[in-house]
Structure 1
């Protein structure tokens, strides 16, 4: 197969997923069209009511993404954590998680900068796609496409080489590209790592929004109906009988008592006035509660995340119990995304050392996704340390301190101990006062 055909195939993967990604993006931004609104209702409200959307989809994604926090690596890490922070992955990793949870997948590209240090970038599925071996499901080819004033650029990654392409015309999709440069790939594998949000082996990557979309449409429809009802039946309507009506020049009947009038007056003795009761909107509240319960069951969001009245947790234990389903989903995503981040770390070590990525053994560490009281957590760790079950270093890590912070704490404690004994560092030659 020629290189241009390989490029066209992998670029076609980007285009195949575009409609699905566009739908998910609209729901994430709460810009989806209002579903189920009857034409009669739309005609009645005119331009006064264009769109309503409650952004539950955004809450579902951010509530999981904010609990997915990489705290470090164990094993043959070397300078992985320093390179991690230098590439701003302590912030960008959260963006990669949100992209994967929303659109189904995101990507990380690892290469070397001009100084030979690991260069790691987080990529969107709008620009990057991969192809896999159907037998091993390993990435065999990847591409990144973007636009600039010079035209449309594309870079195709393969296990043995990397080729750069350029199409002079902007907006090129799968054709019009010409080869401009070929580079050797020293890794022996494709340096593009996908973060795929799926617990299934086959089929396209899934989004956390797929199951929520119809329920969010139903919720928006109920809210729209409630607003339409409040506009036309949510307040008392006045009526009058026995009043002589007038007509305008076109023969249309003119209401003698416009809505702005606060008083109705008539000299006719047979005139009668009254008011129709306002419509009860409680049925809409009941419908909203039913839909919110379904959203909570499908998404794992606890009721207090959805703003349901009367469902606020009474205690910290009740809050943890309400968030158990959400925490379980986050732990499952940690297992899925963890393999990808470990591959990224292996590639970073390979850039530094020249070792094959598969020869590097390491594991990713995650922050606890559960909501915990700092006082309770500290009390439990102190009891385990006092009982001799945990060393001081491990106890500090259990409290959430990073390896750097643990090292600083241990150094400060050693310095304080030496100060307490009156040790003269200058006399020992440990420090040079100059």
Structure 2
């Protein structure tokens, strides 16, 4: 029997990573606990301000909304049917969104009452495992299937090839056998690499830092605005023995302040301190926004800071070229995860341990990242015509479907 790490090891591993997952979910849900700070502002005054920014939310949603999984090409094992019978529209979006937030989500495969595969998305804060860097699947997995209101695990599952062991609070563990050659817990990973096979979150440390700094600038701007609402004034030339202006003697908004001449006929001079300008704070926030866009591939317009208004298909693509490259990378890694899920689900459905290399001809298909408008469709059509004139039949119906994202009639 293979030497497995065991459920205790995986429990500790999940507990060590869970706080990071929860932190990123708080930033995505705009519930982060960052308190604006300024060394020159008393803590009591700082606590009166609470700001919410959705930059991290926008960074995730702008990517997730553009990743639309269509299905599989050369689907010899009819895997697409399994996804469609498991509410595929919600399943794809849920797995992609969670993976962008936490760096890795998981799809848990089980059987319904009829023996047909059932797919369930589990977020990265409730599952982990030991990943095979070659196939991208787990050699051993662990998931918390149910928690109580306090976050304590009620139902846990330990996954190994051909078996799943269920640990339910207060009951003896029991196992459920299957025919799959890998654990029935499939990772859906965003931007994996050799050092971090479980990927990288879209909400990076730099994203959180830039958003926190922007909140600090917002607090300073709010304090400046409050001070400008009640500008400080001064009075020069008062007699030394004159009665000081106390709180009850100060001029209100609707009252006049009476100041008498001195014995020598001199008149006190009234003045007002110059108001602080808000423009430097606005520029500071724009600088943090610019740093945030560099990190995420967005533009200032995406963050609600107006700079230009591109309208054409080409202008929109040019302004989001970095985002397009990031999205294409995400399509490759997510597509591999969905392919692995379909492969293991097919093993469960057919009660047969297929080989992974039997799926080598099946390719994931995605909708275009940027759906072209009418002018874009015309330009792409002209380009396809010229290419086919040079190389007859080079671009066919399937290629045009991938480029345009539109189903043609009678094809």
* TM-score under structure 1 length normalisation: 0.80
How far did residue 278 of structure 1 move? 1.7
Query: 1:198 and 1:179, CA in 2 relative to 1: closer, same or farther beyond 3 A?
Result: farther
CA distance in 1, matches of 2:37, 2:169: 45
How far did residue 254 of structure 1 move? 2.2
Please tell me whether the aligned partners of residues 304 and 311 of structure 1 are also in contact (alpha carbons under 8 angstroms).
yes
CA distance in 2, matches of 1:81, 1:410: 21
CA distance in 2, matches of 1:347, 1:138: 10
CA distance in 2, matches of 1:148, 1:227: 41
2:405 aligned residue (393, 400, 404)? 400
Please tell me whether the aligned partners of residues 368 and 403 of structure 2 are also in contact (alpha carbons under 8 angstroms).
no
What residue in structure 1 maps to residue 320 of structure 2? 323
What residue in structure 1 maps to residue 155 of structure 2? 153
What residue in structure 1 maps to residue 97 of structure 2? 98
What secondary structure does 2:216 align onto?
Answer: helix
What residue in structure 2 maps to residue 430 of structure 1? none
What secondary structure does 2:253 align onto?
Answer: coil
1:217-366 equivalences in 2 (<5 Å) = 217-233=212-228, 236-240=231-235, 242=238, 245=243, 253-257=246-250, 260-266=252-258, 268-269=260-261, 270-313=267-310, 315-355=312-352, 356=354, 358=356, 359-361=358-360, 362-366=362-366
CA distance in 2, matches of 1:323, 1:151: 42
Please tell me whether the aligned partners of residues 73 and 365 of structure 2 are also in contact (alpha carbons under 8 angstroms).
yes
How far did residue 65 of structure 1 move? 0.7
Query: 1:147 and 1:34, CA in 2 relative to 1: closer, same or farther beyond 3 A?
Result: closer
User: Alignment length, in residue pairs?
Assistant: 390
Query: 1:151 and 1:53, CA in 2 relative to 1: closer, same or farther beyond 3 A?
Result: closer
Unaligned stretches of 5+ residues in structure 2: 262-266
CA distance in 2, matches of 1:291, 1:147: 39
Q: CA RMSD in A?
A: 3.2
What residue in structure 1 maps to residue 264 of structure 2? none
Unaligned stretches of 5+ residues in structure 1: 169-177, 248-252, 412-434
How far did residue 263 of structure 1 move? 3.4
Residues 53-104 of structure 1 deviation map (CA, whole Å, 9 limit, x = unaligned): 3221000011111111101101234543333222112222112111111112
What secondary structure does 2:128 align onto?
Answer: strand
How far did residue 353 of structure 1 move? 3.1
How far did residue 314 of structure 1 move? 5.8
Query: 1:123 and 1:284, CA in 2 relative to 1: closer, same or farther beyond 3 A?
Result: same
CA distance in 1, matches of 2:235, 2:195: 68
Please tell me whether the aligned partners of residues 77 and 349 of structure 1 are also in contact (alpha carbons under 8 angstroms).
no
CA distance in 2, matches of 1:78, 1:401: 25
What residue in structure 1 maps to residue 129 of structure 2? 130
Please tell me whether the aligned partners of residues 107 and 121 of structure 2 are also in contact (alpha carbons under 8 angstroms).
yes
CA distance in 1, matches of 2:338, 2:396: 28
What secondary structure does 1:17 align onto?
Answer: helix
What residue in structure 2 maps to residue 206 of structure 1? 200
What secondary structure does 1:340 align onto?
Answer: helix
Query: 1:76 and 1:363, CA in 2 relative to 1: closer, same or farther beyond 3 A?
Result: same
CA distance in 2, matches of 1:161, 1:185: 6
What residue in structure 1 maps to residue 41 of structure 2? 41
What residue in structure 2 maps to residue 414 of structure 1? none
After superposing on structure 2, the runs of 4+ consecutive aligned residues of structure 1 that deviate more than 6 Å are 1-5, 134-137
How far did residue 23 of structure 1 move? 2.0
How far did residue 316 of structure 1 move? 3.4
* TM-score under structure 2 length normalisation: 0.84
Please tell me whether the aligned partners of residues 108 and 192 of structure 1 are also in contact (alpha carbons under 8 angstroms).
yes
How far did residue 391 of structure 1 move? 4.3
Name which of structure 1's ranges 228-237 and 146-155 shifts more when overlaid on structure 2: 146-155
What secondary structure does 2:8 align onto?
Answer: helix
Query: 1:267 and 1:298, CA in 2 relative to 1: closer, same or farther beyond 3 A?
Result: closer
Please tell me whether the aligned partners of residues 368 and 404 of structure 2 are also in contact (alpha carbons under 8 angstroms).
no
What secondary structure does 2:130 align onto?
Answer: strand
Please tell me whether the aligned partners of residues 130 and 141 of structure 1 are also in contact (alpha carbons under 8 angstroms).
yes
What secondary structure does 2:94 align onto?
Answer: helix
Query: 1:34 and 1:121, CA in 2 relative to 1: closer, same or farther beyond 3 A?
Result: closer
Please tell me whether the aligned partners of residues 371 and 404 of structure 2 are also in contact (alpha carbons under 8 angstroms).
no
